[in-house]
Structure formats: structure tokens, C-alpha cells
Structure 1
């Protein structure tokens, strides 16, 4: 790197970020610049100056490998001295699975002592799955000393946008490289042995090249020094860079030129032996002139020595200088040399000049195999290639539509939209399959009215024999109507889909509950080990108020989905699990699960789930009195709901906001939020007992504001429906509010009866928190009636539960009532003062598993586990893991 000049500010910034990483604050730095601005040179210069204690891992994107799943991640694993399958077990694994393995890998590297620097070059060509896995891992490093440097072009189609988001604030930075300034160009000329350019000449060079190091260096290499120093003789244009490259190549021996051309056709990096075979050259001596002319570089590879071009522009110049016949002939010969069938097909494709039915069919078969292996993005690319080779327009159209459907499934919506936009209008009537694909894309883009029209159109034109297609249409319509809070329509289409499914789906179960037609029959597939069946069973148990059963089923489902690498599919189940835990008062677990689910949804770009997950996250935090965090989730839920425009999201975010306002005692806010819902509600829309208790929240707030008749109008229908369904916990909540309402009317006997019945329902439903809230309300009414002894009994029983569960807002109200009775409650410390994450780590550590096992369970680094355990020990005043279990047990009493 003796010829590297300038970039002092950038090198200083990188050193500062490494210092932050050493201090336990992982950093991400994105180095951006146009081609030729010296991104790679900057990163390599920085790496060359690192201390010996730094572990360096390097990887890079390749244009010809951008569709190879986890190609960049495998390079990282190999750089760490581990086989690629130590991180990537299967190409079909979801990014969080691979990301979790990356976290573990980086944790293992800590044993070497110093920090880890991970450098990813040419990230604009990195495969999408590697980027997603890397984002997942970097968000979970905790205090691990890791600096990640990512070099990319500014325009990459949004490929590394999530990495750019990480490189903000205290977590990192974006370094934008422009051209070298005049002084730096003078220094570059001196470093290249051209002497010091006069300042006017250097200014002319900067104006001419924009200071782009690649072009400036090319002119220093190829143009006579006298021309550079003169301001009279015109400089060659940087656009003539290809001419300079070809001039350099022309000075090489003929055999060397053949090797360089072969390397350009094979793509980089390529095996040295493959290039020699393709060029028809027997000795490696013919490569030396190309290396001397800075046209090629050599280096080791897993399967022998490899050739690379110093810059992509050099390869492009060589490749495009070949005449079409020569280039096609080389690609045909390359197809017989390369190692894999897929590579051979790629070369045959590059050699094709028109329709080729045989090659098109082979690419169709390749795509089918890629789909079977879960390599959906690669399959889509294969289908697009096949489309260009099929002579039949119908086959071309089929390939494009199949590719669009695969891209929708992988979340590459922009690419799918681009493909569809280039598809000519269908001749004649649009086929059902095409309407379905277009409907899927509209659904994924949030254009629900368009999606509904297209999907119904697909259903109307689908033949009875197209069973698989008809099932997919039904499932999508069920989902669409569920999200739009049209439960009757969702049930209709869900039942049609279920005719061909081995079990009832979670969506159908939930739609039935929303429609007021809860299905309590044993689900088909009840004995199945498939996670989808467990999700459906868990949803059924949740909506029918078997919270313990729902928690068990959903925990099983989430674990199974994660173990099989289906992280994105687990989000739905994890949201339900957190909701069940919230309702049963297991708030620490609910918070931990929602935090994890929100982070996972963001990492995997499942933005359409965020409104619901943020809503679920806000409610247990409100129950604990964590106002700032709860309000942040409410704001995020509202923003996400506005983005999707879905009725379900709007209702969910509104109910979450009302829960927070209720916990804070802001009754007017509750009425403001939920009043419009009551005015528009009909049976089955979001207020169905067992699905949501917002009518109880609204009625309670109306009572506190003195609007008794309005409260009764809201509460009475909910009570009747809860009784019809036999929902004990809904009746407990409604009975508690009924007790307040009767007390406000002055009928204390009726209030006592309502509270007593509510307490029975809470016990029957197995809910401690509902029982405690009923006792708190009963005690408050008794205290106001002057029955201090009865009040103390009820309030004391409520307080014991509220302390154990950490219900700080309710506990504050309870203590206020006890003080009004003239009693001083015995103060007890809430569970250790631990944060949700600290408590989750402590509980797992107390169970006897090792720190690496805790890290794997929570998908964090070992360093993060150790950091949390140190805080736990300090807060609990203990010194070892052995003391954790009894201390946590004492805290839960």
C-alpha cells in the first residue's frame, strides 16, 4: 500500500470506531463511493496497519455470485478457519438461522483476545441472504468487540440499506468517498515515481478526472509525465480507460492475451487451471506478463490457485473487446470445463444468441431443483433466463410469472414489480395463475383493493382441476379479509382453503373467533408434530381462554419453527405467545418475546407484522409501569398501522394505546381512543370476548368520568356475549367493571355480588392477575363504603399477587387504598430490579445451562450473556450462578 495517499480523515475515523469496538461498543461503518474512488484501497490500508491482536475476517461480493445464497457468509467462515457449513448448514436456511450461527462464530473468536474486524468489500454485489444474516448478527453482538466495515457503491438497489441503518448514531457511521483533492493528487504522483506535479497541473488533473483515484492512477501510468505537467496538451478522457487497458494487454505475448480473455469469460474469481485449459495454454508462465502488467492478480483458493482482475473495469474492458463469435465460442468451451452443471448452463446461456428450446427446458429443470432446495432467488433468476430462450410466448410468460411469485415469497418486491412491468399485455383473457400472481404482488405491496379484485378474478377463472392454485387463492383471500377485519369473509375463504389442508390454520381459527363463531372442536391434525398445527391449536386455546394451554402449544411451535430455520414463520406464533403471557400476567416473558419478535421482524424486513408486534409489546410494559418504553411501542405501532392502512393494525394499535392510557389512569384518553370503536362496532369485530376486552376498558373509563348510562350501554352486550360463550376471564373482567358501575349507582349489594361472581370466574379461569384486579376493585369500593376490615382483607390479598407479578401501577393504587384505610403496607422489593433481558438471562443460567447455550437460546453473543450476568450478580448481591436459582425463587414468592 505504498502508493496509497490521502484519506487521513477516513483512516482516523476508522481508528476511532475500532477504539469504540475495543471498549465493548460494536461498530458498523459503511464506506461508500463510486467505482474507482478507492474504497477497497482505503479498507486494505486500514487493515494493514492494525495491531497484531486484531482478528481480521474478509469477504466480498462478486457480480457473478450475487445470487449464490450465503456466498459472503461462507467466505467469513473460511476466513475464521472454519468450514462454511459451520455457519451455513443449507442454502435454504433462513437468514436468522445463519445470523445466529454468525453470532456464535464471532463469540468463539473472542478467545483470541483482541477485537474482531470484519471487512466486506463490494457489498453492492453481496447476495441478499448474506446481507440479511449479517444484519441479524450485528444487531445481536451486545458488547462484543467487533468492528464491521462494509464497502459499497451508493446505488445498490437498496441491497445494504439495513446495514446503512445500523451505521448511525453511536453504532457507527457512513464514510462517503469523493475524489482526491489537489494536494493528494500531487502526493499520488510522487508516490508513483512521477515527481511532484505543479499545482496548476494537479488542478487540471482533478478537474479532468474528478479526483477519482482509478482514473488519475491510469493517467499517471499511461500518459507521459511531460503531458501531465503541461497545461497546454489535452489529457485523454477517463472514458478511454478501456483503450488504456487494451493497450497494456497488447504488449503481452499472444498466449498471455488468451489467458486474460479466458479469465474474463470465466468471471472472477476463476480457477487458474480452468483459465489455462480454456485458453489452450499448458504452462503457468504465460500468466506472469499479465500480472506484471497489472491486468491479473493471483491468489490461493479452496480448489487451487485463482485469478482475479484488480478492478472490475479491467475485466469489462477485456470481455467487451472480444468479438461476438469469439466470446460465444469461449463460453461454449467453458461450459465443458467448469465444475458444476449450473456454471455450465450459465456459460451456455451467455453463448446463446436467440431462442434455444433445449437450454430453456434445462433452465426450467434447474429452477425446479433450486425451489426444492429453498433457493428461491436463484430459481427466479433461472426462470427469467429461461423466459428469454423459449420460442413459445406462452412459455415465456409462464416463466416470468413463476419468477415473480418466487420473488414475492423472498421479499424482493421491487424486482418482482420490475419484471411484471416489462411483461406485455396478455393475449386474450388473463389466466387464473397470472391474476393470482399479480394479486400476491399487490397484497405484498399493501394495495389491498387491487389484491382483492385480482384474487377474486383468479378464483372465478380457475378450473376445478387446479386444486393447488385454488387453495393458494383461498388462503390469500382469508389472510386479506382477516387483516381488513372482515371476519365472516375470512372464515368463508379459510374454510374453502381448509378443505385441501391437513389441518385448520391459525388464520382460520382466529377469523372464526373474530366472527363470533369460535371453533372449539378438536382441530384436524391435532396429533401432528408440524409447527403449523401447533400454531393453530395455540390460537384456538388463546381465544377460548386456556392461557396455560395456549402458552405451552405456542412455545412448542416457536421452538420447532426456529429449530427448522423458519424464523419468519415464527413471528405470527411468537406474537400470539406474547399475548397469552401478557394475559396471564407473565409480563417479563411477554416483554422478552415481543422485543425479540420486533427485532426479528425488522431484521427480516417483515414490516407488515410490526404494527401487531409493537401493539403486543406495549401492553405488558404498561402493566409494569414502564411508561417510556410502552409509549414508544404505541407510537411505533401507530406509525406501522398508518403505513399498512390495514383495519386490524389500526384497531390493534388503538387498543394498545388505550391499555397504556388505562394503566396510567388517563380515563379521558381511553374514551377518546375507544369511543369511536364503540360507535362503529358490531358483534365480532375486535371486541369479541376472549379475543379482546376493550369494551371493559371503555366502560371502566366512562364510569370514572361519571358517564354511567354510557358505560352500561357498552358493558351489557359484552357481558351477555361472554356468558353465551362461557368465557370465564371475560366475565371476570366484565364483572369487575360491573361492580364499579353498581357502586357508582349506589347499589352496594349488587356491587358485592358482581365482585364475588367475578372472583369466582377469575379462579375458574386460572388467572391470578384477574383475581387480584377484582380484589383491588372490591377493596376500593368497600373502603369507600366505610367497611375498612373488608377492604383491608381484599386489598391485602390483591397486594400479595401484584407484588409478585410486578404490577407497579396497580400496586400503587392498592397501596393508596390501604393508606386511606389507615394501614401501612409491608414494602417488598419487586423481582430483583432486573430488566426483562437480565431476568431472561438469569432464569436460563439458573436452569443449569452454559453461557454459550444461553446465548444460542436468546440469539445473542456469549459476551452479551456475560455482561448481563455481571449486572444480575451486582443487583442481586450474589457472586455465582449457584446462588441464582434460590434467589430468583425467593423473588417470585
Structure 2
């Protein structure tokens, strides 16, 4: 049997349809748009979206998905619906596997690739997510990430949702603003709209006074008004005599309609309400104790339910969630529990069986609670943290013992924190009874940590440790590692190392926080196979100056971590990779990786990482003399550091600003920025491989005529670099030492220091440092009157600086050569710096032999975005092909 409900009448909303048409026009022109259609239940959100879709050109590809209350905790349920819709609308591509354990940006990248399959259809693509207030949070996060990666793509995204959704789609609302879209709020229909609705429903022409009364009675809510038109005699509505029925509660009308159905139909509707907004018709009939699908026909005629085909058999649905709610909550509690108990024996999915058993439970049930905890463990293994948290909450309510209930709720809070759902975690934490257990203090400490309340987090974590003697070793290691990370971010390196070592006593693997804390504290970082991650191994290699090894380890880590769904960890690796390449003088790569990491962190809303990533991005731009870009990154790093309030971020932003000032030759500014760091260091030297800011400060002091002050800053750095054999650090220190000695008139000592610096640079394979040392040596030789030797040193330096595009250093070199009486040959080729960082990144990948789809996959952008950037690159270089692009980039590199 198949009985379909009549399509709902749609009237009015001309303004709203016009707004949607305008955003579609923008999307069609290559400006991706997002519109959130927001309204209370029954306001006609779905009807508006459907009316808009009905008027679309056939060439428009439409992808539809919908949130469901019963599946709001199923990770990536909405994304999987969209993936299936892509296969229906476009050419079927390779199978897409979305794993619950994947982080949202990884799944967002899959969405971008899926949308690219539809780019050749000839029309725009409209992505529709109905009932967004029930969409699972990971899908929303993945969708936001994907939409932010769509640049010049012809995509319009419509999300229909209620205004009060607990913040579930706030990120989409934030995206639907400015030139990217808007939030379209639906109110009730006006008098004219209600008159038109009555006419469309066959109730005749409603006089304006009667329509005004109906408006006052229903608030113009289409669902409520439609129910009255269908329930009340049209003559009564028009007559203005007697009161209208009292359906300010919509449930009154629903239940009145239900009461007119035969007992069998009523029983099936009640059973369906217990099963959910959607169920299999056979399950509902079976649960009701009826036989034959025809029994539900009167309820379909009464428009209480609809029936239609579905992949798992004929589906029974409620036309609106309010109808199901009215039926479900009208059931006698005992009857409802009995139905849930029988439903547990009918449904197939294990999760659904347990859901019904929980609803059927009349009180405590330790056995069922233990089953739910076991299920939560399986969900965690699959990466379904949000779903596992909900399962633990259900389990907590079934435990007879208060301690067990509290434990379950705390575990749920911790899972929500790890899932990035801080608002839900905070709300749940308020419901946890206060106590003094190690577990509670630890969980509340994590929550404070993620909210940026570091002082509170420290107190809670220390309190957790103080009473953790009898806890599981893994728990104690977790407390120690959290404190190690907290102190690392606060640059309290001694305490960070202490707590990291305590964690090692339980779990013999070093974390990134411990590795970097050891470096900052100047402690030895011994090579070990027990570093927890590739990022930790890459950090150790970076801080110990094995730059080639660090680049290999970190580049592999970026690829592997993203393939494994660990997106946030991949951003750490990519940031370190950018810093590594900057130090090697591979500035194009540094710019590309840092710019990409910043964009990805912004799109994934990982704001807490931005200070460090912007700091890394500023430095290669400064080395190339791209002042506007360098200044923009410094400003962004400074703002991000102010937002987090973390000392590590503030120091990183300060050092980045000093790099820019140093490249400009703004020595006074360098001293202003780095002088306070030297005062706090009080002559103590950390790992020289972490940063050479003491060399920058000492160099600036020399230029300002303060060699003694420079010596006090430089000497501890030199000694520590010599103790550890850090050749790159010794090179930088040697250049400054040469200047200090020259300022004091010790030319012989200065030359000796510079020759030693050159030896260190060559031994480290640091080409940029060889060139900078030759520049410093050439300047010393010129000033001592040995122009021929100076010209040789400066010429060798210039060849490297010119090839690397180190414009500030190159300009200083040219000034020295001019003072020697030589005129350097100027570059004539267009430089890569003429391109934006994103254009340069796209150009280099394209020139390497990658196809456009491969470039899009590598950068996690759409194919349209890659083509847009390539068109700009071709125009700037005045070329038309990839072969010419390779030549243009070689010409820019070779000069």
C-alpha cells in the first residue's frame, strides 16, 4: 500500500523568494553563498525552501540532506546523505568512506572534492540541509570547513533551522553574513498571506477582519493556521461569531484529529511516535499489535502521517515534528514505557534497542547501565565521541549509586571537551554534583583549560594530582601531560619539564610539549625512538638543527596525519615545517606552508593556533622584503596572542615582529621588542636551536653603538651553542661576534670570528647562512680597505641572495658593492613575490607536474579555486601554458 500526503499549500513569501533568488544569482556568478533560513516550528521553513527549489532551472544540481532528532549524534550522518546525493545528481565517482573518527576538516575536504564532481553540469549547485537544528555537530563542522574553502565556486547552500538550537549551527550563521550570505528569518504570515492560504486550501475567501482575528489567534504561523482551516467550518471562520478553537496549543488540533481515527489507526500512530519521526511501516504496525498496512490509511487521510518508499522498505513519517511530539507526550506514561519495551524487541540496530530499553526503564537498572557504558566504549573506539557522551548520560541516569552517576557524567563531559563541543560540555558540567575527587577536578580543569582560564585550570589539575594516588596509572599520566602542556604554553619551562618527566614515568613516550619545553629550558634532547608522534620527532630535529631531517619528517607527518584523519595535529606539523624551511632559506616553501596552515586553521576555527602560525608566516616574507605581507602577519599574530593571553604566543609574536624590524634595519625597534625578553632571561640560555633572537638583539645593539651590552646578550648564547655543537646558531653568533670585535677595533679577531662562522655554516649545509656571513665579511673587508677581497666575498654572497630572493640582504650587498666601485647586475625576470602566497603555492604545484585536481586535493580547495588562481598567475606572467609556467618560475628563481 502506498498513500502519499497532499503537498502543502504554499502562499506568500514573495520577499523571501526574491532574497533567495538574489543569492542564487551571486552563486551562479561564481561567488559561493550561504543562507540560513531561520524560523520557529511551523513557520514554513521547509515549504519556503521547497517552493524555491521547485522554481529552479533543470540544470541546477540539488543536493539534499536533513537532520533527524534520532540521528543527531550519528557522526557525519548529514555528510553521508550529501555524498549519496552527489552520486545521484552527478556522475558516480569512487566510493567515499567517511569514518566517524576523522576530524571535521578531513571530512570537509571530502565534501569539497565531492562538490567538484558537479562542476561541469552547466548550472550552479544548491546544497540544502533541512532541520539543521538536528544535524550532527561533526557534519556541521565539516560543512563549515568545506564552504569556507569554496572561493569562486557556483554553490548556494541553504540551511533551514530553528532559532534556538543550542548553538548547533552558530558556525554556519557566522558564515552566512557579509558578502558570503545572510540569515533569513521567517515570521508568521500577514493578513494577506492568511487570506491566500485559506483560498489555496479551499476554505473560500476570508474577509480581512476574520483574517485579522486568525492572525491574532495563531500568530500567523502557517502550520497552525492550516490546521484551523482544515478543522473549523469555513463559515465559522468567516462569520466572526463565537470563539475559535483553542489551538494556541497545536497539540489540541492534532489530538482532535487523531481521536476521529479508528482504534487501529490510532494505535499505529502512537507506535510510530514511539519509534521516532521516521520508521518502517511494518515495524509500526507490528508494535501496535495490528495486521495489514491498510490499518494506517485513515491516519494518512487525516494528514497525521505520510507513507512512501524507502531503501529499507515502506517508510512511515510524521509531516512535522510537532505532530509526533503531540502524540508521544499524550500517551499515558505506563503505556509509553510498555511500547518502548516492545519496540526494543522489534528494531534491529543495537543502539536503537538500547534507546528503547532506556525509555522503558522505570528506575535504576545497573545491568542496562553497564551495557550502555560498554556501548559508549565501542563508540569511543570508532571516534564517535559526541554519541558516546550521550550514551554515558543515559547510563548515568540508570545507576542506583550517586558515585556511578557522577562518574558517567564526568566521562561524558571529558568526551565533549575532546570532541570540541565546549558549550555542551559546560552545560553538562553544571549538572554534575560538586565533589572533591581527582576525576572531577581533572575534568573541570580540562574544561577551564580549553576555555582559556589557565589559572583556574592549573589549580584544578594540581588539586587532581594531589588526590590521584589511588587512581589508574593512565589517569595520572593524563594529569601530568595536561600540566606539562599548560606550563609549556605559559613558558614555565622548568615546571613543564618536571610534569612531562612525571608523565614519562608512567608512559615512556615524549610529547611535543615536553620536547619543546626541554629545548626552551636548555636541557638536552636525546635522540630516542620513543617520541610519541612524528610531530615530536620533527620538533626534536628542528630544535637540534637537523633541518633536512626535520623537513623530511614533518612533510611526511603532514601527509600521514591528514590521511589518518588527525587534522589538528597536521597543522602543528605544517607550522613546524614552514619554520624549518624558513631557516633553510627555502622561503617559497615556507610561505606556501605557513600561508596554507593559517588558512586551514582559520577555516577549521582553530583560533588558538593562529598566533604561532602567523608568526611563522611573517618571517619568510620579511626575509624577502615583502613588507605588507610580513606586517599583516605580525599584526594578526599579535592580535591572536592578545586573544589567547598565552605567554608562548606573545613571545612568538614579538620575535616575529623583531624579525621584520631586523630585516628592515630598524635597530631601535629590535631593541624595544627584544630587550624585555633579555631582561627576563637574565643571562640564561635555552636551546640555541629554538630561536636566535639573542643574536638579533646583540646585532641591533652593535649597530646602535652599544657593543658591551651586545656582548652581555650574546655571550650566554654563544657558550650554550658551543656546548651543544649547534652550528647554525654558532654561525649567527659568529657574525655578530665579528661585528662586536670590529667595533672595538679588533679587525683580526673579527675576521677570525667570521671565518669560523663560515666554517660552521658550510658544515651545517646552511646556504643562506653562508651567504649572510660572506656579506658581513665583505663589509668588514671593504671598511678595512681591502676592496678586491671584499668584492669577491660580496659577489659570492650576492649570487646566493639574488637566487633566494633575499631582497633586504641583497640591497645591503649591492650598497657594499657600490662602495667598492662595482655596479651589480640587476634582475630582469619577474619574481615569484609578484604573486600572492596562494597563487605562488598553486603555481609551484602545477609546475611540478601535478594536475589541477591533484593541486586541489593537496591544498584542500575546490577545482574552481585552483583554476581561478592559475588564470591570475598566467595573466601576471603573461603566459598561456604549464610549460611556460615552469620556465617563468625558473626564470624568477635563476634571475
TM-score where L is the length of structure 1: 0.93
- How far residue 359 of structure 1 moved from its aligned partner, in angstroms, is 1.2
User: Residues 810 and 70 of structure 1: is their aligned pair in 2 closer, same or farther, counting only changes over 3 Å?
Assistant: same
882-891 or 491-500, larger mean C-alpha shift: 882-891
Matched, 1:13 2:22: no
Deviation for aligned residue 1:104: 1.2
State yes or no: 1:26 paired with 2:25. no
CA deviations over 1:731-750 (Å, ceiling 9, x no partner): 22222233344444455444
The alignment of Structure 1 onto Structure 2 pairs a total of residues equal to: 883
| Residue in 2 that maps onto 1:624 | 624
Task: Using the TM superposition, give the Cα deviation of residue 241 of structure 1 relative to its aligned residue in structure 2, in angstroms.
Answer: 1.1
Shift of 1:265: 0.8
Once structures 1 and 2 are overlaid, which stretch shifts more, 412-421 or 883-892? Answer: 883-892
By how many angstroms is 1:238 displaced?
Answer: 4.8
Residues 107, 144 of structure 1: 8 Å contact kept: no
Residue 133 of structure 2: aligned partner: 124
Q: Distance in 1 between matches of 2:300 and 2:783?
A: 93
Distance change >3 Å, CA 85–CA 224, structure 1 → 2: farther
Aligned to 2:313: 304
1:529 equivalent in structure 2: none
CA distance in 2, matches of 1:567, 1:715: 39
1:356 to 362, 365, 372: 365
- Correspondence 1:93 to 2:102: yes
Residue 561 of structure 1 deviates from its aligned partner by 1.2
**Aligned partner of residue 499 in structure 1, secondary structure:** helix
The answer (yes or no) to whether the contact 2:76–2:98 under 8 Å persists in 1 is no
Number of the residue aligned with 2:669: 669
**1:859 maps to what in 2?**
860
Q: Deviations over 1:427-470 (max 9, x none)?
A: xxx33333322222222222222222222232232236722112
What displacement does 1:290 show? 2.3
* Kept after mapping to 2: 8 A contact 1:689/1:727: yes
Aligned equivalent of 2:4: none
Q: Does 1:798 align with 2:797?
A: yes
Instruction: Give the conservation status (yes or no) of the 8 Å contact 2:592–2:840.
Output: no
SS at match of 2:35: strand
Q: Is the 8 A contact 2:218 2:225 kept in 1?
A: yes
Selected match of 1:264 from 269, 273, 285 = 273
Of 166, 186, 209, which residue of structure 2 is paired with 1:157?
166
Q: 2:376 — aligned with what?
A: 367
Q: After superposition, where does 1:868-887 map in structure 2 within 5 Å?
A: 868-885=869-886, 887=888
Partners of 2:830 and 2:877 within 8 A in 1: no
Tell me the residue number matched to 2:84: 78
Number of the residue aligned with 1:836 = 837
Shift of 1:335: 0.8
1:562 paired residue number: 562
Q: CA separation of 1:768/1:182 partners in 2, compared to 1, >3 Å: closer, same or farther?
A: farther
* Aligned residue number for residue 577 of structure 1: 577
1:150 is paired with a residue of what secondary structure? strand
Paired position in structure 2 for 1:147: 156
Matched with 1:773 is 772
1:87–1:98 Cα contact (<8 Å) kept = no
Alpha-carbon distance in structure 2 between the residues aligned to 1:364 and 1:888: 59
Change (3 A) 1:188 1:777: farther
Would the alpha carbon gap of residues 401 and 45 (structure 1) be closer, same or farther in structure 2, given more than 3 Å must change?
A: same
Residue 720 (str. 1) matches residue 725 (str. 2): no
Partner Cα separation in structure 2 for residue 355 and residue 84 of structure 1: 50
Moved more, 486-495 or 631-640: 631-640
2:227 corresponds in structure 1 to: 218
Q: Counterparts of 1:718 and 1:52 in 2: how far apart (Å)? A: 70
Check the 8 A contact 2:32/2:152 in 1, yes or no. Answer: yes
Indicate conservation of the 8 Å contact 1:804/1:831, yes or no. Answer: no
Range 877-886 or range 482-491, more displaced: 877-886
In the other structure, the counterpart of 2:393 is: 384
Bigger Cα displacement from structure 2, 9-18 vs 67-76: 9-18
Q: CA deviation at 1:399?
A: 1.1
Residues 809 and 456 of structure 1, relative CA distance in 2, 3 Å threshold: same
Which of these residues, 328, 336, 347, is aligned with residue 337 of structure 2? 328
1:114 aligns with 2:123: yes
Q: Distance in 1 between matches of 2:227 and 2:636?
A: 51
Please give the alpha-carbon distance, in whole angstroms, between the structure 2 residues aligned to 1:340 and 1:396: 26
Shift of 1:289: 2.5
C-alpha displacement at 1:58, in angstroms?
A: 0.4
- In structure 2, the CA distance between the partners of 1:885 and 1:808, relative to structure 1 (3 Å rule), is same
Aligned match of 2:528 in 519, 523, 530? 523
1:852 positional shift = 2.4
> Alpha-carbon deviations, 1:138-178, whole Å to 9, x = none?
12223222111111222222222222222222222222222
Offset of residue 480 of structure 1: 1.3
Q: 2:498 aligns with which of 488, 492, 499?
A: 492
Partner of 1:431: 437
Q: Distance in 2 between matches of 1:470 and 1:736?
A: 47
Cα pair 1:75 1:84 within 8 Å, conserved: no
Q: Which segment is superposed worse, 506-515 or 180-189?
A: 180-189
Q: Which residue of 1 aligns with 2:755?
A: 756
Residue 643 of structure 2 corresponds to: 643
Aligned equivalents of 1:817, 1:273: Cα separation in 2: 89
CA distance in 2, matches of 1:85, 1:158: 34
**Contact 1:123–1:160 under 8 Å retained in 2:** yes
Q: CA deviation at 1:338?
A: 1.0
Structure 1 785/210 Cα, relative in aligned 2: closer, same or farther at 3 Å?
A: farther
With 184-193 and 239-248 compared, the bigger mean Cα shift is at 184-193
Aligned-residue offset at 1:48? 0.8
CA contact under 8 A between 1:405 and 1:437: conserved in structure 2?
yes
Asked whether the equivalents of residues 366 and 382 of structure 1 are also in contact (C-alpha less than 8 Å), the reply is yes
Deviation of 1:514 after TM superposition, in Å, equals: 0.7
What secondary structure sits across from 1:57 in the alignment? strand
Q: Is the 8 A contact 2:112 2:150 kept in 1?
A: yes
Residues 170 and 375 (structure 1), Cα distance of their counterparts in 2 relative to 1, 3 Å cut: same
Distance 2:750 2:213 in 1: 91
Secondary structure, aligned partner of 1:157 = coil
Q: Distance in 2 between matches of 1:55 and 1:339?
A: 35
Moved more, 536-545 or 154-163: 154-163
Any idea what SS the aligned residue of 1:856 has? helix
- Paired with 2:196 and 2:815, the residues of 1 have a C-alpha distance of 75
Contact 2:217-2:248 within 8 A present in 1 as well? no
Distance 2:84 2:738 in 1: 67
SS of alignment partner, residue 522 of structure 1: coil
User: Are 1:337 and 2:346 matched, yes or no?
Assistant: yes
Residues of 2 paired with 1:297 and 1:850: CA distance? 49
